[in-house]
Amino acid sequence: MKTRIIEIIEQNYFDPDFDVNKLAEKLGICRSYLNTRFHFDFGSSPHDYLESVRIENAIKSLLEGDKIIEVCMKIGYANKKTFHVAFKKRFKMTPKEFVKKSKGTKL
């Protein structure tokens, strides 16, 4: 089941409508079972994992020079504000600050 979960997330993370409910639906299981099983297998919630996949893909795009608004649309955030909040929660800086900082250093 772990492999299938990862496949589904990788195939759908860029869809702003893709969430834990859609993941459970694609797996053919209820959301509560997905949350329990996911926590057991991955040590985090499905929502946190999905957000992590989105943010990691955002970093790649930002470092390739994509504009912030393009990145948030490409990785599944419906708007720039939601993307900024998720990014800042994880890195304690905005995407713009991250790009500025990374230009001066190799990651």
pLDDT of 11-65, one tens digit each? 999 999 999 999 999 999 999 999 999 999 999 999 999 999 999 999 999 999 9
10/53 Cα distance (integer angstroms): 8
Given this model, what pLDDT does residue 105 score? Answer: 62
27/38 Cα distance (integer angstroms): 12
pLDDT digits (tens, 9 = 90+) for 64-87: 999 999 999 999 998 899 999 999
Tokens for 32? 């509560």
pLDDT band at 1 (very low <50, low <70, confident <90, very high): confident
